[in-house]
Amino acid sequence: MSDAQDNGLQPIARGSAFNGLKPIVSLYVHIPFCVRKCPYCDFASVPLPHPAAERYVDAVISEARSLHCPEATRRPRQPHPPALRQAQGRSPSPLAERGWSLAQPGAGGEVVLAEHGDDGDAALSEAERAAVGPTFATVFIGGGTPTALPADELGRMLRGLRSACDIASCAEVTIEANPGTLDTSKVEALAGGGVTRLSVGVQSFSDETLRTLGRIHSAEEAAAAIGLARSFASFSVDLMFGVPGQSVAGAVDDAARAAALGAPHVSAYALTYEEGTPVERSLRAGRVTRLPEDVELLMFESVGKTLEASGLARYEVSSFARPGSQCAHNLNYWNRGEYVGLGAAAHSHTGGERRWNGRDPSEYVDAVLAGRSPVAGRERLTPRTRYLEHLLLGLRMTRGVDRARLAEFAGAAGETELDSRVQRQADAGLVEVAGQFLRLTRRGLPVADAVIAALA
């Protein structure tokens, strides 16, 4: 690997605290609506119109408020600093033990919410926010297609999140945008709501490839969306390769075009045939022909070389950035940082636990607005799970896994740092030790998913 691949990326959620007082976490907000379902997509998203769409922003803001005021639906107008709750003899949650307050479902599974108006009439004061909630250093609004919401709803959601949560003034705030749903009124609403980074789902600059993918937008609209994205501090372009009918030259052309349009960040993913999706059914039925494996591999390498030659260094298996433009939010995931998820299907990782909300948007909205918990499951992380997560998430970054921390996790889990499965991948030339890091080799990068699956 070249030195350029070791970007010196530091985890944002560890070490020196953002404000010296509180741990730093990320906030994820899931918007599960799309104009139309793409045939390859297995994300948690449903097509519009949908009965839950109108009340969805209310539910997200309510869930955000519950991060601060877990008792509030029962006693809505009283402040609930952690010290008061502990003085009342309640067991502190893992977060409360760390000085945070985050809603935990009660015995009946209910989540308790603050009484509020549409987006801020019961907002906590700056001092209250700072006293009871985590500081969010990054926010990522993903989907689905967040920009499928109307401009006024996007603005209302952003104002509501800011009034409910302590979002750092210098936070990276990303929102995903589909070029077929973006216009100047939405861009104004997003910029006015503090969005700093637009992640544009271009996928390709070829109309033919876009048609094969069933995208709702044209190549021209994709280029226009990038024009709009330039008004933000940063933006990212999502590309897809390995699409049936696509040539290596076509995939390279897409990468070159994204770089030429000045993208500070590009994510380039191979098309995957997820079980149960229409495209996977078409593949099984012989209506679609998958590109040969060696062509997909050549695309992976050629797209990477094109982006790197344009100054976008690969820092994760599928992610490329100009210096200083890496996605801090995703780095926090890969470094096993903590995050809070809001919305249907959103996942959270805090206090040594992972938990997730139910996927159904209607059930999510009904639950939250009725004062019940949207949480569908939770898992307390064992030492072995932590070790595996550190290994498998860290290997996605080109820098690799910090071996000192890996050894800590391994020791706690009763493992050796390089257990036999890791050693087998090293013997096969797919992972290597490089100084303080364990990382994928150049041969291992294109087959990262298979290497990681073999280690899981």
Binding positions for ligand SF4, rule: CB under 6 A: 34, 37-38, 41, 43, 45, 143-145, 178, 201
Q: Closest Cα to residue 135, out of 84, 101, 97?
A: 101
Please give the structure tokens belonging to residue 289: 């022909």
Nearer CB in complex with ligand SF4: 145/174: 145
Q: Which residues contact 257 (CB under 8 A, 6 or more apart)?
A: 205
3-class SS letters over 39-61 = CCCCCCCEECCCCCHHHHHHHHH
Residue 202 CB, shortest distance to ligand SF4, in Å, is 12
Residue 201 CB, shortest distance to ligand SF4, in Å, is 6
Residue 178 CB, shortest distance to ligand SF4, in Å, is 5
Reading across the β-sheet that carries 437-440, which strands appear in turn? 401-402, 437-440, 431-434
In this structure, the number of other CB atoms found within 10 A of the CB of residue 121 comes to: 9
Residue 34 CB, shortest distance to ligand SF4, in Å, is 3
| Residue that the structure tokens 């290596």 belong to | 248
d(CA 356, CA 347): 4
109 burial class (0-12, 13-18, 19+ CB within 10 angstroms)? exposed
Residue 168 CB, shortest distance to ligand SF4, in Å, is 28
Nearer CB in complex with ligand SF4: 144/264: 144
Residue 143 CB, shortest distance to ligand SF4, in Å, is 5
Nearer CB in complex with ligand SF4: 178/306: 178
Nearer CB in complex with ligand SF4: 34/72: 34
Q: What is the dihedral of CA 110, 116, 119, 121, to 10 degrees?
A: -150
Between the alpha carbon of residue 226 and those of residues 33, 80, 148, 229, 261, the distances in Å are: 22, 44, 17, 5, 8
Nearer CB in complex with ligand SF4: 46/67: 46
Nearer CB in complex with ligand SF4: 103/213: 213
